[in-house]
A and B are shown apart, each in its own frame.
Chain A
Amino acid sequence: MVFLVPLFCLLVSFLIVYFSHLAVPLSYAPYLSVAILASLDSIMGGIRSALERKFDNFVFLSGFFVNSIAAAILVWIGDILGVALYFAAVVAFGVRIFQNLSLIRRLLLRELQSGRDDSEREKK
């Protein structure tokens, strides 16, 4: 049940900002997309490492901030050079999100499987 807290946080912050009618200037839209991907990536990575029982809070939070800042710098440099460099960040984050997602799926399936095995063993 305690894992519903992050979901709740997501919902509440979304609704608050959505109904406060805040918007970002259009020229900052690439930064926004990269930031969204960075946080999605961090969340996926966090869940995966938790399932693998390797979760380290410091690694998690530092990864989130360093990734976001690096991506923002990439977008900024791209803006200066007139090249859409942020695609690099978008692609990298996208690939990682899907990798993490598939790992999470496998881990969850394995846990489900082992749980079922346990219960079957108990029946016997």
Chain B
Amino acid sequence: MKKQLVISLSVVSLVLGILLALGVRTQLTYTPVLPTTNPRELSTLFKDLQETNKKLREEIKVLRNQLTDYEQKLASGKGAIQALNEQLQSLKILSGLTAVMGPGVVVTVADSGYKAPIPELQNLYIVHDDDLLHIVNELKGAGAEAIAINGQRLSFFSVIRCVGNVIQVNETPIASPYKIEAIGDPEVLESGLKIPGGILDALTNAGLKVSIKKVEQIVLPPYTGASKSSMRFAQPVGGP
């Protein structure tokens, strides 16, 4: 009986050892991404990350400016290099990677000052991502050459969308009032927005606070979101 006991206990211990090791390994493999689930600690963590993010964005801005400087210095040479650099600079403006200045308009849109009579209607009293998209679209249609929303420069891979209950531009949350700055012919831009029955009418009718201001000179910051140094999928057809 003693022999049987030892053998049985050994077998079960063997199984237990295997299971325990598997459990430990599983736990090690799937260590949670977040170090804690305590909301208070998480919120401090989140704030820290936001701070870091902000600093890194500043750094991107500085580095991009440096790059432009270097390119311009390089182009003090003549001929082909200069031509190439001119082309590069205009392409950078086009892709939003460099700070630009020029005349244009500043459109300010803010949530309605009125409170919704019932909470369910609150959606009708605030600015949505579609509204901003509409305005941007109209500005582009009127020939805007560079656009920024609350300091977030729009590049061709910029995204304006609603995440949770905030609007994000370039993955950065922004809040009302929304200041949309566009560089282009101020007259054309303004009239584009003010088309009867256009976006401006719609927003005003909805009770949102909208204003357009023509400006002699605005400076738009460069795009500071993530950018791809090389394309993963798109390739030029033909080639040199």
A6 engages B19 (CB within 8 Å): no
Q: Does B118 contact A (CB under 8 A)?
A: no
- Which residue of chain B lies nearest to A53 when distances are taken between CB atoms in the complex? B1
A36 engages B8 (CB within 8 Å): no
Q: Does B162 contact A (CB under 8 A)?
A: no
Total A-B residue pairs with C-beta atoms closer than 8 Å?
103
Q: Does A13 contact B (CB under 8 A)?
A: yes
Specify which chain B residues have a CB less than 8 angstroms from the CB of A17 in the assembled complex.
17-18, 21-22, 25
Specify which chain B residues have a CB less than 8 angstroms from the CB of A24 in the assembled complex.
22-23, 25-26
Q: A5-B6, A46-B8, A60-B8 are in contact. Are A23 and B13 (CB under 8 A)?
A: no
Give chain B nearest CB distance to A48 CB in angstroms: 12
Instruction: For the complex, count residues of B whose C-beta is within 8 A of A.
Output: 27
B19 engages A35 (CB within 8 Å): yes
Q: Does B235 contact A (CB under 8 A)?
A: no
In this complex, the member of A3, A10, A22 whose beta carbon has the largest number of chain B beta carbons within 10 angstroms is: A10
A39 engages B15 (CB within 8 Å): yes
A57 engages B8 (CB within 8 Å): yes
A102 CA / B11 CA spacing, docked (Å): 24
Interface of A is mostly: helix
Give chain A nearest CB distance to B21 CB in angstroms: 4
A39 engages B16 (CB within 8 Å): yes
A15 CA / B21 CA spacing, docked (Å): 7
A14 CA / B28 CA spacing, docked (Å): 15
Interface residues of B in 162-217 (CB under 8 A from A): none
Q: Does A88 contact B (CB under 8 A)?
A: no
Instruction: Identify which of A25-33, A70-78, A116-124 touches chain B.
Output: A25-33
B21 engages A18 (CB within 8 Å): yes
A46 engages B9 (CB within 8 Å): yes
Bits for B1-45, please: 1 = Cβ < 8 Å to A, else 0: 110111011111111111111111110111000000000000000
Please list 5 pairs of residues, one from A and one from B, whose beta carbons are closer than 8 Å in the complex, sorted by A's number: A12-B17, A17-B18, A29-B23, A36-B19, A46-B8
Using CB atoms and an 8 Å cutoff, list the residues of chain A in contact with chain B: 2-3, 5-7, 9-18, 21-24, 26, 29, 32-33, 35-36, 39-40, 42-43, 46-47, 50, 55, 57, 60-61, 64
Given contacts A47-B9, A57-B5, could you give 20 more A-B pairs where the C-beta distance is less than 8 Å?
A: A3-B9, A5-B9, A6-B13, A10-B17, A12-B14, A12-B17, A15-B21, A17-B22, A18-B25, A22-B25, A24-B23, A24-B26, A29-B26, A42-B12, A43-B16, A46-B8, A55-B4, A57-B4, A61-B8, A64-B12
